[in-house]
Amino acid sequence: MTRTEQPSIEERIAACLDRRDLAQAATEALQGYGPQIFGFLTAVLRESDAANEAFSEFSEDLWRGIGQFRRESSFRTWAYQLAWNAARQLIRDPFHRRGRRLRTSEWSRIAEQVRSSSAAVREAAIRGRLSEMKARLDPDEQTLLILRVDRELSWKDVAAVLSEPGEPLDDAAVRKRFQRLKTKLHRMAKREGLREILAGSVLPSSGSGTKVQ
């Protein structure tokens, strides 16, 4: 098999699930998607201890729950659902963190590797004035922005991640949220003299036809 024919993360996970090797499937998932998940949690929670706590919970939830993954979405989308649920729990209950630790040395090692990877740190870093502006958004707004713009999830997948239990969101509702968020960002940018930065960024100016519309 040539380098260009190497299986994707999704394919490697699926192969492990097909043979019911759940431990290896979880390892592939955490090694493959862990850095971007940790970056996502760091950007949303904005504080390293909280991100570490949420990542520990996410990792354990993935470890324990991977056998219940039904392949109704990509594994990546399912992983972001777990991560957002972990973040949301900390946001709602910040004074009662459980201090969870993975229960096997192997999983602890993998999680720590992800936390300390320079790629994850670089991905999570907030740079420049535009990033500082985005950092002032509330967690729900930041999550919507990261999932749609930075991670390029489809509207359907963003809706799946953001849906509350028993209260599913549809594509149209998420698109409306994003339009309101985009308007808010452009107003903030105008007040702070950042219109020229927004014009050259991944966020579209009003009325443009970029991929995030």
| pLDDT tens per residue across span 169-206 | 999 999 999 999 999 988 887 787 655 455 544 454 43
Mean pLDDT of the chain: 80
Residue 26 has pLDDT above 90, yes or no: yes
How far apart, in whole angstroms, are the C-alpha atoms of residue 213 and residue 211? 6
How far apart, in whole angstroms, are the C-alpha atoms of residue 148 and residue 96? 30
- Residues 83-117 have pLDDT tens digits of 999 999 998 876 655 555 545 556 667 777 777 66
> Which residues are CB-contacts of 39 (< 8 A; sequence separation ≥ 6)?
120, 123, 124
Alpha carbon 133 to its chain's center: 19
pTM comes to: 0.69
Q: What pLDDT score was predicted for residue 60? A: 87
Residues 133/194, Cβ–Cβ less than 8 Å = yes
How far apart, in whole angstroms, are the C-alpha atoms of residue 17 and residue 37? 21
41 closest CA partner among 30, 32, 50: 50
How far apart, in whole angstroms, are the C-alpha atoms of residue 25 and residue 66? 8
How far apart, in whole angstroms, are the C-alpha atoms of residue 106 and residue 112? 10
Q: What pLDDT score was predicted for residue 207? A: 37
